[in-house]
Amino acid sequence: MIITINTEASTLSVAVGGHQTNYPLHSPDAFHILSREWLKLGWNLEHWATFSWLGRQFLQLPDDMLRLAEAVWRLRPAVIVETGVYDGGSTLWFASLCKLMGHGRVISVESELRSEVRAAIDEHAAGLVTLVEGDSSAPGTGAAVSSLVAPGESTFVFLDSDHHKQHVAGELRNFAPLVSGGSYLVVADSNLAQLAELPNGERTWSQDNPGVAVDEFLEAHPEFRRERFVPTFEDSVDFSGLSYFGNTWLKRTQDPAKP
């Protein structure tokens, strides 16, 4: 694909296989084409690794974090379950939202929690975060987290741990049952297939990625549907493509069955 930007004529041209299509440069179509390539370039240069919250790094695109915050603010879940703590930035982000709302708490799962991360979370979010150390795809870890959620508590789930298909499939088995009706399960980094051919990508991502696990999960779970959270200030232009996981917001359409 060859993309040509002509700022003098205000046009964008895309040539594929000898066929060329022209777009107005300042149109939604041009935005979608350029933002798709910008996302790839920014990912490859690790733009997403340059942000922090309360001094702790979080490995996310700011657009995604703000959409998550918007969803949490509107839904006001009693519990936010997060997998993948890393440096603690995203954990503190979710805890900060709970503190601002005066409502909710966070359960965060990480395979190995470093002492300095524990200390930072305790300093800034004492009483708001419960840390669970373990493999988030393992049944035992799922059971440990489930025991911390009371029946009927509204729950929002964000999966951002190991991104291999089988691992994400295990996380979906563990944590999808916790999501309450009308709330969401969001699976991070489902764009890996689009990054597989980049210099810092891995060829195996074309088939081994969170999106494949989500596709298989949805086939067996009609109580969930693929539905991106609608922004509070929705525009006539669709900006949902400006995301690392725009297609893996899963909404639960009914409450879990009672035992």
Query: 106-142: per-residue pLDDT in tens?
Result: 999 999 999 999 999 999 999 999 999 999 999 999 9
pLDDT attached to residue 176 = 98
Mean pLDDT of 200-227: 97
Among the listed residues 211, 206, 192, the one whose alpha carbon sits nearest the alpha carbon of residue 250: 211
Parse the chain into domains and list their residue ranges: 2-45, 50-252
pLDDT attached to residue 258 = 53
Q: What is the CATH number of domain 50-252?
A: 3.40.50.150
Mean pLDDT of 240-257: 88
Percent of the chain topping pLDDT 90: 91
Cα dist. 88→126, 188, 199, 227, 236 in Å? 13, 16, 28, 28, 36
pLDDT attached to residue 36 = 94
The structure's pTM equals 0.94
